């Protein structure tokens, strides 16, 4: 027995010695996210890893942790400030603790489509927002798309009154809470990793998400109806810790940023494709019914939810909201 234990100890030491160890001066970038790998964010993260490891081999190593394996979105930013993770791309709805401005992206019916959101993000106001949390130790490196949100529920939602009294999971955003309160529903802030079980066990009645997230996390298998509402969007802020980022050697930082920009461009292409293909996969599955809104039904949702803008106007700033609205021109 004693020989056996000694043998195991030697084997463990040998494995440690033989492991492809991180070289002493190699920089490790841990990229934590909550979605599946077959999503815009999952694909962007994997592309980033491939590009960095091809161009900065031996200098920078990237470790990607999908599916909330390392942190969920409610803990990742704190972990980043502690230096436990270097890159993440939480949804823009999850920064309310750090900035009053980013919740602009949650205002219902703000952008006509992803192209309008892209114009706003790449314009001067959107670019300024990237640095809105610098004093809190977080730097935004770019925006990444996922898509527009649909409402799913255990019953058909055609007009706002249909949502009355239902429990909806929301991301950690006060704007999203106000959006559901506007239709007399009950919003519950829960981590993305909990949504499937909450729906399956009927602890909640519905949720809002993109076609890609509804498909990849199988929400459509446990929701009888999806209303194609396109009432908001889920996009991401690719974020890093200021201390980590500013501490990188300048040449490495430039290369890492270049790889990230290319990975984001790749993720954005995937986002456009998945908004169509994952919707089709859900429809073809026959597991849920996709409801289209008539113009007059859609108008009712807009009328009831739009007053949320006024509620957050002082916090977000009217100028910023006006700039976002202006980006709809051309859509």
Contact 222, 196 (CB under 8 A): yes
> Which is closer to ligand SIN, CB of 34 or CB of 185?
34
Residue 148 within binding range of ligand SIN, rule CB under 6 A? no
Of residues 67 and 328, the one with the C-beta less far from ligand SIN: 67
Q: How far is the CB of 170 from ligand SIN (least distance, A)?
A: 8
> At closest approach, how far in Å is the CB of 167 from ligand SIN?
15
Cα 239 to Cα 87: distance, rounded to the nearest angstrom: 6
Six-digit token string for 121: 């993000």
**Cβ-based nearer residue to ligand SIN, 36 or 320:** 36
CA angle 290, 291, 297 (to 5 degrees): 160
Cα separation, 188 vs 167, whole angstroms: 7
Judged by CB under 6 A, the chain residues 160 through 179 that form the site for ligand SIN are: 171
Convert residues 11-30 into a mask of x (bound to ligand SIN by CB under 6 A) and - (unbound): --------------------
CB of 147 or CB of 241, closer to ligand SIN:
147
Strands 206-209 and 233-241: unpaired
Q: In this chain, which residue has its C-beta nearest to ligand SIN?
A: 192
- The answer to whether 150 and 229 have CB atoms below 8 angstroms apart is yes
Q: Whose CA is closest to 151, among 208, 225, 202?
A: 208
Backbone Cα Rg of the chain: 22
In whole angstroms, the minimum distance from the beta carbon of 26 to ligand SIN comes to 28
Q: Which is nearer to ligand SIN, 180 or 255 (CB)?
A: 180
Q: What is residue 3's three-state secondary structure?
A: helix
Site string for ligand SIN, 197-216 (x = CB under 6 A): ------------x---x---
CA 209 – CA 230 distance, rounded (Å):
9
CB of 120 to ligand SIN, least distance (A): 19
Exactly one of 32, 46, 68, 91 binds ligand SIN (CB under 6 A); that residue is 91
3-state helix, strand, coil in the chain (%, to 5): 50, 15, 30
The count of other CB atoms within 10 Å of the CB of residue 105 is: 27
Among 34, 238, 259, 321, which residue interacts with ligand SIN (rule: CB under 6 A)?
34
The residue (of 91 and 99) whose beta carbon lies closer to ligand SIN is: 91
- Any contact of residue 234 with ligand SIN (CB under 6 A)? yes
In terms of CB distance, is 171 or 229 closer to ligand SIN? 171
CA angle 298, 304, 306 (to 5 degrees): 90
Closest contact distance (angstroms) between CB of 19 and ligand SIN is 31
* DSSP label of 75: T
Burial profile 13-33: b = 16 or more Cβ within 10 angstroms, e = fewer = eeeeeeeeeeeeeebebbbbb
Residue for token pair 């494995």: 15
CB of 207 to ligand SIN, least distance (A): 7
Compute the least distance from the CB of residue 254 to ligand SIN, in Å: 27
Please name which of 222, 218, 13, 192 lies closest in space to residue 90, comparing C-alpha atoms: 192
Q: Is 121 or 213 the residue whose CB approaches ligand SIN more closely?
A: 213
Of the candidate residues 46, 146, 216, 240, the single one contacting ligand SIN (CB under 6 A): 146
Distance in Å, CB of 6 to ligand SIN, minimum: 47
Q: Which of residues 35-54 bind ligand SIN (CB under 6 A)?
A: 35
- For ligand SIN, the binding residues (CB under 6 A) are 34-35, 91, 146, 171, 192, 209, 213, 234
């Amino acid at each position: 027995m004693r020989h056996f234990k000694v043998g195991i100890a030697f084997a463990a030491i040998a494995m440690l010695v033989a492991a492809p160890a991180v070289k002493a001066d190699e920089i490790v970038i841990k990229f934590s996210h909550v979605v599946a790998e077959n999503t815009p964010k999952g694909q962007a993260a994997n592309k980033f890893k491939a590009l960095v490891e091809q161009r900065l081999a031996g200098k920078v190593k990237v470790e990607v942790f999908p599916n909330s394996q390392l942190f969920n979105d409610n803990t990742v930013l704190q972990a980043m400030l502690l230096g436990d993770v270097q890159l993440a791309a939480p949804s823009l709805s999850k920064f309310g603790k750090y900035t009053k401005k980013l919740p602009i992206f949650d205002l219902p019916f703000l952008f006509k489509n992803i192209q309008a959101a892209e114009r706003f993000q790449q314009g001067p106001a959107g670019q300024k927002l990237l640095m809105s949390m610098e004093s809190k130790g977080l730097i935004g490196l770019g925006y990444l798309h996922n898509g527009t949100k649909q409402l799913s529920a255990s019953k058909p939602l055609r007009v706002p009154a249909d949502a009355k009294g239902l429990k909806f999971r929301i991301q950690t955003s006060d704007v999203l809470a106000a959006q559901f309160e506007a239709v007399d529903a009950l919003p519950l802030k829960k981590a993305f990793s909990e949504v499937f079980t909450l729906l399956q066990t009927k602890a909640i009645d519905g949720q809002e998400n993109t076609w890609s997230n509804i498909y990849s996390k199988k929400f459509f298998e446990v929701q009888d109806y999806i209303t194609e509402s396109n009432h908001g969007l889920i996009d991401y802020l690719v974020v890093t810790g200021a201390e980590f980022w500013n501490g990188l050697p300048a040449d490495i930082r430039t290369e890492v940023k270049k790889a990230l920009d290319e990975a984001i461009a790749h993720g954005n292409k995937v986002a456009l494709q998945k908004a169509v293909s994952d919707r089709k996969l859900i429809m073809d599955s026959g597991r849920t019914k996709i409801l289209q809104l008539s113009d007059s039904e859609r108008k009712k949702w807009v009328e009831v939810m739009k007053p949320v803008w006024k509620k957050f106007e002082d916090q977000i700033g009217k100028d910023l909201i006006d700039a976002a609205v202006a980006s709809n021109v051309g859509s």
